[in-house]
Amino acid sequence: MYKINEYFDGNVVSISHNGAEGKATIGIMAAGEYQFGTSSIEIMTVISGKIMVKMPDENKWNTYKKFESFEVPKGITFGVKVEEDTPYLCLYK
């Protein structure tokens, strides 16, 4: 079964799926800056464009480009910036 999720007044939209490997979402973020919280470990992969990420214990933004991935720990809030509409894949552990 699929579920559509909308965040930040529709600026971030994803479709979630529970498959053989666990929960995953595929979505798109409109250009902007966002704060996301995690309830599990997340592995995010940029499908096209780039995503800038700032973890709570870091002073700088790290940039991830097309087909690059990063892991987000459970139980944190982290910053995300995108300069153009950017699709992504997120796997949950």
CATH number of 2-92: 2.60.120.10
pLDDT above 90 (res 73): yes
For the segment 1-56, what is each residue's pLDDT rounded down to a tens digit? Answer: 789 999 999 999 999 999 888 899 999 999 999 999 999 999 999 999 999 999 99
Tell me what pLDDT residue 1 has: 75
CA angle at residue 48 from 45 to 52, to 5 degrees?
A: 65
Under DSSP, the state recorded for 39 is S
Q: What is the pLDDT of residue 17?
A: 93
Q: What is the pLDDT of residue 70?
A: 97
Q: Amino acid identity, residue 42? A: E
Query: Per 3-state DSSP, what percentage of the chain is helix, strand, and coil (rounded to 5)?
Result: 0, 65, 35
Domain boundaries, the chain: 2-92
Nearest Cα residue to 85 out of 36, 38, 51, 34: 51
Q: What is the pLDDT of residue 66?
A: 97
User: Which pLDDT score is estimated for 89?
Assistant: 97
Find where tokens 């991935």 sit. Answer: 69
Per residue in 54-68, pLDDT (tens digit) is 999 999 999 999 999
